[in-house]
Structures are given as C-alpha cells and as structure tokens.
Amino acid sequence: MKNLKICLCTVGKKENLYAREYVEHYKNKGVDKIFIYDNNNSQDEKFETVLYDYIDSGLVEIINFSNIIVSPQIKAYNDCLKKNYKKFDYLIFYDMDEFIFLRNFQNIKEFLSQKVFDKCSRIQLNWYFHTDNNLLYYDNRTLLKRFPEKEKRWKNRKIGGKEGIKSIIKGNIDIRILDVHILNSKLISCDGFGNIMDNSFNSFYSNNSDHYYNYIDHYYTKSTEEFVNKLMRGGGVHGMNKEFEKRRIDIYFNLNEITLDKINYIENKTKINLSIYRTKLISLNDKKII
C-alpha cells in the first residue's frame, strides 16, 4: 500500500445530528484531514459544538462559509482544492450524507493505491440510495441502523434521465471545479475498477455487477421529517429554489413508498400542493384492491 495522504472536502449546513457519524466513518477509512465548510447562518448551530475533539486532534478543520449564498458548494470545493491540491495525494469531494463503501478494502488508501488508478485523474463512484425505511420522524440511532434498506432498483434516481456520481481526484492537478459531480470535464475519469469512463454526470459502471463492490451510500432523504428539514435549508447549488424543491419531492417519492402521512407532513411544512401524489396514492390503493 502506498503511503498516501488523503483529504475530504465537504460543505455542511444544519447537519450537527450527523456530523460525528460522518467524521468517524471517514476517520476509520483512513482519511487524514476533513475540511468542513460551515454554511450555517451566524445564528444557527455550529459544528464546533459536536466536533470539538476531532478539531483539537487536527483531523477536522472548520472553515467559515456562513455568508456564501449563491452556489456555496462549488465555491467551497474550489477553495478547498486551491489551498490543498499540492498538499494531498487525493482529494475527496463528497456531501455529508454520502458515505463511501468499499467491499474488499478496509482502508481507502488500499483502494486508491491500486495500479489500475495510475492512469486516472478522477475516480467516480455511483450513488446507492437508502430509503426512508418508512420512518416519519428523526430518532437518535445511527444512519445505518435507521436506514438499512436500499432502493431495490439500482438506476433509481433520474434527473433529466441522468444518474448521479461523485468524485475523488488526484493531487497536484491545478483545475477549476465547474460541477459538483464531475468537477471538471478535462479530467481522465475512471470507475471504481479503473475502467476509463465517460466524463459526465450520468456515467455508470460498465458492468452492472460492479456497483455491489465500490459505491457511495447516499442517505438522501432519511426520515420524512429530516427530508423536509433538508428542503427548508436549501441546496448547495440551487439554494432556495421552489422548482428545485418540487424536484426533490419527486425524487423523495420516487425512492420511497407514498403514504398519506408523508404527503400530509410535507404539504403542511412546505405549503407545496401535493395533490398529484394524493391521486397517485389512490391509484396505487385501487390496484392493490384489484
């Protein structure tokens, strides 16, 4: 195994409930440094209150990004890359609900030390979405214990017909990040097995069985309550965009079972009309009776 130095760049907002689990996961995977760009408003919660020991040890560094409203994720990624691309052999760009899974490797350094990646400047892994496990409300168990269920279909999240990937890039590459998924189209992209891939958001493993080995556990929705909280804090790219909120609700019901309790909760909290899902629920119930 190569003596690699690896950092993780991420943006967080109102995610104190999950921050320790996230940091501990990547600490156990062998990440040397975690840069968290704190996009909370000044009056909101602070990561320092739950990550103080990791900060004291030097594993975690919090960067104040509270006043960045437009595209904070891309701006944070560029800042992290500019400051650290010469300091680390690999830089990971994942969100705080994305947990890397490597079936045959305990340590991410073992994974990235493989010769198959020598030709790659970017390594992309696909998402594997976890369902809400029909939980309406948050409870304080770990994500893994609350949401063991994964969406039965692999190609489950389609936005404009596309699938999602996130990226790890090699150090010493001076680029500008233009997209939170592919980062930059000039990079030579490989999948988790070192196969050269199409450098686009909808790139997918060349072999349908590959995703069972290396992927990203994506806790996109969590419970209904937590999903609504995610909506209310806005997106890292689209911010508080009403059309994007509706699209996220579409994704939520694409991943999870449609129930009246979920419809009522989301509708009451967001004031978005979900009559289309009431109609779908009636149709689904009619089919069950038949």
216 with 100: CB under 8 angstroms? yes
Least confident of 5-9, 80-84, 199-203, 241-245: 199-203
**What pLDDT score does 155 carry?**
43
**What pLDDT score does 186 carry?**
92
CA dihedral of residues 95, 250, 264, 153 (deg, nearest 10): -80
**What pLDDT score does 156 carry?**
43
Mean of pLDDT values over 56-76: 92
End-to-end CA separation in angstroms for the chain: 59
Give kind and range of the element (H or E) at residue 46.
none
Mean of pLDDT values over 234-260: 79
- Joined together, the tokens standing for residue 241 give 């965009």
Mean pLDDT across the chain: 88
Instruction: With a cut of 60, say whether residue 100 has pLDDT above it.
Output: yes
37 with 63: CB under 8 angstroms? yes
Count CB neighbours of 98 within 10 A: 19
90 with 169: CB under 8 angstroms? yes
**What pLDDT score does 202 carry?**
59
Interaxial angle between packed helices 242-255 and 260-270, expressed in degrees from 0 to 180 and rounded to the nearest 10: 170
Instruction: With a cut of 60, say whether residue 71 has pLDDT above it.
Output: yes
Q: Residue holding tokens 């004291």?
A: 56
- Find how far residue 214's CA is from the centre of its chain: 15
Q: Which residue has the higher pLDDT, 200 or 28?
A: 28
In the chain, the percentage of residues whose pLDDT exceeds 70 is 86
What is the rounded distance in angstroms from the CA atom of residue 243 to the CA atom of residue 238? 9
Q: Residue holding tokens 């019901």?
A: 253
Q: Where in the chain is the domain with CATH 3.90.550?
A: 6-218
Q: Which residue has the higher pLDDT, 255 or 203?
A: 255
**What pLDDT score does 158 carry?**
44
**What pLDDT score does 171 carry?**
97
What is the rounded distance in angstroms from the CA atom of residue 256 to the CA atom of residue 234? 21
Q: Tens digits of per-residue pLDDT, 32-63? A: 999 999 999 888 899 999 999 999 999 999 99
Q: Residue holding tokens 């760049």?
A: 9
**What pLDDT score does 290 carry?**
43
Q: Which residue has the higher pLDDT, 110 or 128?
A: 110
**What pLDDT score does 288 carry?**
60
Characterise 160 by phi-psi region: left (phi > 0), alpha (psi -120 to 50), beta (else).
left
What is the rounded distance in angstroms from the CA atom of residue 51 to the CA atom of residue 49? 6
Q: Residue holding tokens 């500019």?
A: 82
pTM, whole model, 2 decimals?
0.91
Instruction: With a cut of 80, say whether residue 210 has pLDDT above it.
Output: no
Contact partners, residue 179, CB within 8 Å, separation at least 6: 74, 185, 201
- Joined together, the tokens standing for residue 132 give 């809400």
**What pLDDT score does 149 carry?**
82
Give kind and range of the element (H or E) at residue 170.
strand 165-170
- Joined together, the tokens standing for residue 70 give 């437009």
Query: Could you tell me how many residues make up the chain?
Result: 290
Instruction: With a cut of 80, say whether residue 114 has pLDDT above it.
Output: yes
**What pLDDT score does 211 carry?**
58
Q: Tens digits of per-residue pLDDT, 75-96? A: 999 999 999 999 999 999 999 9
- Classified by CATH at the fold level, domain 6-218 comes out as Spore Coat Polysaccharide Biosynthesis Protein SpsA; Chain A (3.90.550)
Q: Which of 216, 14, 20 is nearest to 111 (CA)?
A: 216
**What pLDDT score does 167 carry?**
96
224 with 231: CB under 8 angstroms? no
Count CB neighbours of 188 within 10 A: 12
Q: Tens digits of per-residue pLDDT, 147-173? A: 998 765 444 444 333 357 899 999 999
- Joined together, the tokens standing for residue 200 give 């686009």
**What pLDDT score does 157 carry?**
43
